[in-house]
Amino acid sequence: AFGPTGTERGAGAPGLSYDFVDPSFVPDRKLEDGDTIREKSFALDVLHMPGHAPDHLCFALVGKRTVFTGDHVMGWNTTVIAPPEGNLGMFLTSLERLMQRHDKMFLPAHGGRIQTPQRVVRAYIMHRKWREQTILACLADGVCTIPRIVARLYGSLDVALKEAAALSVLAHLEHLIGRELVAAEGASGLLSAFYLRSC
């Protein structure tokens, strides 16, 4: 298994009231990065692409420069990274790995086919870097809790989307904590206060 699934990391963290994983699920066959699934008329290379989830897999259609990207790269917007299962650092590393493949087409689980995969992946990376800068600017201005950051960055966002936005901000903050640019008061969670380490 990959990542924190089943390790209870984040259990009891402030504001994290549910999990995205069914811990009782056991696959019929466990696939690993580098495995190949062979059928009569096609073959798929297994690509472990953590970030959206620790065990997220993409599948490259052998000889076709085409990747089934699942939730990792979607056809209409960047995917949600929701801690504790989602990890922004892993997501960005996985995107960089896709950039190095030079595929011609992505077929995502959500949205239409992507016929300019390099451009889309580059845009997703740039979006995450831009979002990071906006969060750092919030902290520099004393906007230090996730609800206040969401209110500033997302404005009049539909109530149904605020939780996803909050989890996305938390993912960015945890990535910044991992790089020792930001710290949390107590455990990192949706109800925590955060501050720049340089202050």
Mind listing the pLDDT tens digit for each residue in 39-71? 999 999 999 999 999 999 999 999 999 999 999
* % residues pLDDT > 70 (the chain): 89
Q: What tens digit of pLDDT does each residue of 113-169 get?
A: 999 999 999 999 999 999 999 999 999 999 999 999 999 999 888 888 999 999 999
**Nearest CA to 90 among 196, 191, 174?**
174
The amino acid occupying position 30 is K
What pLDDT score does 26 carry? Answer: 87
CATH number of 36-196: 3.60.15.10
Cα dist from 52 to 44, 138, 139, whole Å: 21, 25, 25
2 — pLDDT class (breaks 50, 70, 90): very low
How is 43-61 classified by DSSP, letter by letter? EEEEEE--SSSTT-EEEEE
pLDDT for the residue numbered 85: 92
**pTM of the predicted structure, to 2 decimals:** 0.85
